Amino acid sequence: MNNKQVLKIVKIGGKLIEHEKKLSEFLLDFAKLSEPKILIHGGGNMATEIAGRLGYETHMVDGRRITDANSIQVITMVYGGLISKNIVAKLQGLDCNAIGLCGADGKSIVSSKRPVKDIDFGFVGDIENINQKFITSLLEQGIIPVFSAISYSDSGHLLNTNGDSVAAEIAKAMSENYSVELYYCFEKKGVLTDIEDEKSLIEVLDSVKYDELKKQKLIHSGMLPKLHNCFSALEHGVENISLGDHELLKDGSLKTVIIK
């Protein structure tokens, strides 16, 4: 037990952002939360589409984007501008005083450019520091930070950064002074053992079960790093984590709850 104030940190994933009706429904639920809150968004699919229309090819390796000089410009336009400012405008329309930020703003998310090993991921950052003090000062003014998945390196570069990791790292850092609840909203009801069957939802997942499922190869691709982020966040002070679809913030929604 502790007496820290609850802080809700919510990540919304790519496909949800493109679905206007689901996004609006989600933002309405988010705006209604009475606790201090933070939103994190990506926007990979939309970036790929705009890049294509601008004549840039998108290169992926094992489902991960190679962020060349053109890609980081498109990501900056799409995540940092188009998606961020439209979400902020919608939230303001719902009387939720939001602010759209990337990691360079107020030096909020500092990262280092990923070193080149087998693959050169390009302008991709691994998070080193979250500016907890700045984020707290916004929350204390009743301002709701909306972060796009872009970090910043001290050398003055914007770096593409995994949105799930941004959410987890902000959650860990803010746990020092808040009782943090972390939510990952995406296109599924939660962790499924059969991705085609929503009835295969795992309602409670602990690390023992997680290891079992990995061994049985029932969890793969994007879900692996997402769950890795979840268990790491639980180890570093985050109180409560759940995964689900755009209805995740509603009471009694179907979801996966992650426990140690």
Structure tokens at 153: 């390196």
- Is 70 among the residues that bind a copy of itself (CB under 8 A)? no
Point out which span in 74-82, 165-173, 192-200, 207-215 binds a copy of itself (CB under 8 A). 74-82
Angle at 15 between CA 12 and CA 21, to 5 degrees: 85
101 contacts a copy of itself (rule: CB under 8 A): yes
Is position 195 an interface residue for a copy of itself (rule: CB under 8 A)?
no
Query: Residue 155, interface with a copy of itself (CB under 8 A)?
Result: yes
CB of 102 to a copy of itself, least distance (A): 5
Nearer CB in complex with a copy of itself: 101/219: 101
- Three-state secondary-structure class, residue 101: strand
Q: Which of 50, 195, 254, 257 binds a copy of itself (CB under 8 A)?
A: 50
Is-contact 58 106, C-beta < 8 A?
no
Among 6, 28, 33, 99, binds a copy of itself (CB under 8 A): 99
Tell me if 219 contacts a copy of itself by CB under 8 A: no
Q: What is the DSSP string of 104-126?
A: TGGG-EEEEEPPPSSS--BSBEE
Nearer to a copy of itself, 112 or 240 (CB): 112
How far is the C-alpha of 162 from the C-alpha of 166, rounded, in Å? 6
The single residue listed with the structure tokens 């009835």 is 199
Site string for a copy of itself, 4-43 (x = CB under 8 A): ----------------------------------------
In the complex, minimum distance from the CB of residue 158 to a copy of itself, in angstroms, rounded to a whole number: 5
Q: Which residues face 8 on adjacent strands?
A: 37, 181
Nearer to a copy of itself, 61 or 94 (CB): 94
> What is d(CA 242, CA 204) in angstroms, rounded to the nearest whole number?
9
Contact assessment for residue 75 and residue 45, using Cβ atoms and an 8 Å cutoff:
no
The structure tokens listed for 223 are 């879900």
Alpha carbon separation from 44 to 57, 75, 166, 190 (Å, rounded): 14, 8, 14, 20
Provide the annotated binding site. Answer: 43-44, 65, 160
Binding residues for substrate are 43-44, 65, 160
Contact residues: a copy of itself, CB under 8 A: 50, 53-55, 73, 76-82, 84-86, 88-90, 92-94, 97-102, 104-107, 134, 137, 141, 143, 150, 152, 154-158
